[in-house]
Amino acid sequence: MDFKRARLKISRFLGWLGLNFCSLIIKFIPWRFLYAFAYFAGSLGFWIARKQRKIALESLTIAFGKEKSSQEIKKIAKDCFIFLAKSGLELMFLMDRPKLLKQHLQLVGKENLDSALAEGKGVILVSAHFGNFPLMMAYLSLIGYKIAGIMRPMRDPLAERLFMKKRTCLGIKTIYSQPRKACVENTIRSLRNNELVFIPIDQNFGSNSGVFVNFFGRLAATAPGPVILAKRTKAKILPCFVVRQENNFHKIIFEPPFQLEEAKTPEETVIINIQKLTNIIEAYIRKYPAEWGWIHRRWKSRPNIEKGR
């Protein structure tokens, strides 16, 4: 146990050193070289981070094992590492240069966002850990939208403080997912202030609090929050995604407002609608597979019926 704890501390310390090294690099590296450096860092990370590479390959095999070859899966995994490096480095670079940041994103479907906001009950932006979503929130804040994001704190408190400071400077409100009661209260307060609340629902939510819906052909524990909050506050649900372009600019896509389907019971209503929202997320991941964070055990929690077998 002591060895594991020591290894974890060393790992986090090395991660902190790496973060600071990258922060130092981007102060001096010209913009035109940033993505070349990110490509190198992501490719290196793919070969060095064996545990994360294994998780990515396992996750991709669950999702695409019947559709893609092992070579295709390996390429997506490597591209995922490269895209993560690109996102991390450009985020650190652009968050300190708000004028430049605004030049690198554009909105698609802005009318969907504005019409939903016009109702005055806030908007729930349902999305995923897809593309450079923190950059998307920064952009929306910079162009005048009041936005909050529900987030899990990073495991490294030093890194969390660093990014919390940057988010605050850019006007992004952070709502931590725990404790749950405070999270719900803060989210409702933001919606009643007619703000945007960004809620990613693509990570394992645990078998006790999540609802199990189909995701790439396998049941996955998923957060029910967006549907419950929409029912309670009458806020509109708007699926949204940020997609990297070939020139490393980004498009923020707002889908039309999501129409809640009523079922016989509140429980069925939640499951039906979370499944529909998950289907939208899956469609984007299928179209842009390297944009999603495969370094996560999405299907880790299993339904009790499976555990009893």
Q: Residues 97, 91: contact at Cβ < 8 Å?
A: no
- DSSP one-letter string for the chain: -HHHHHHHHHHHHHHHHHHHHHHHHHHHS-HHHHHHHHHHHHHHHHHH-HHHHHHHHHHHHHHHTTTS-HHHHHHHHHHHHHHHHHHHHHHHHHHT-HHHHHHTEEEESHHHHHHHHTTSS-EEEEE-SBSSHHHHHHHHHHTT--EEEEEPPPSSHHHHHHHHHHHHHTTEEEEES-SHHHHHHHHHHHHHTT-EEEEE--S---TTTSEEEEETTEEEEE--HHHHHHHHH-PEEEEEEEEE-TTS-EEEEEPPPBPPPP-SSHHHHHHHHHHHHHHHHHHHHHHSGGGB--SS-TT-S--HHHHT-
Q: What is the pLDDT of residue 1?
A: 47
pLDDT at 23: 64
**Which CATH number applies to 2-304?**
3.40.1130
Contact 228, 179 (CB under 8 A): no
| Cβ-Cβ contacts under 8 Å for 250 (sequence gap 6 or more) | 104, 105, 106, 131, 132, 135, 136, 242, 243, 244
* Nearest partner of 39 among 3, 4, 88, 98, judged by Cα: 88
Query: Torsions phi, psi of 95, nearest 5?
Result: -65, -25
* pLDDT score for 5: 61
Say if strands 236-244 and 250-254 run parallel, antiparallel, or are unpaired: antiparallel
Which residue stretches of the chain have pLDDT < 70?
1-27, 158-159, 305-309
Q: Are 303 and 207 in contact (CB under 8 A)?
A: yes
The answer to whether 37 and 89 are in contact (CB under 8 A) is yes
Positive or negative torsion for Cα 284, 289, 295, 301: positive
| Pairing assessment for the beta strands 196-200 and 218-222 based on DSSP bridges | unpaired
pLDDT tens-digit profile of 59-73?
999 999 999 999 999
Query: Cα dist. 160→174, 203, 222, 248 in Å?
Result: 11, 19, 24, 26
* Measured distance CA(82)–CA(209) in Å, rounded: 33
For the chain, the straight-line distance linking the first and the last C-alpha, in angstroms and rounded, comes to 31
Give yes or no for a cis peptide into 226 (omega within 30° of 0). Answer: no
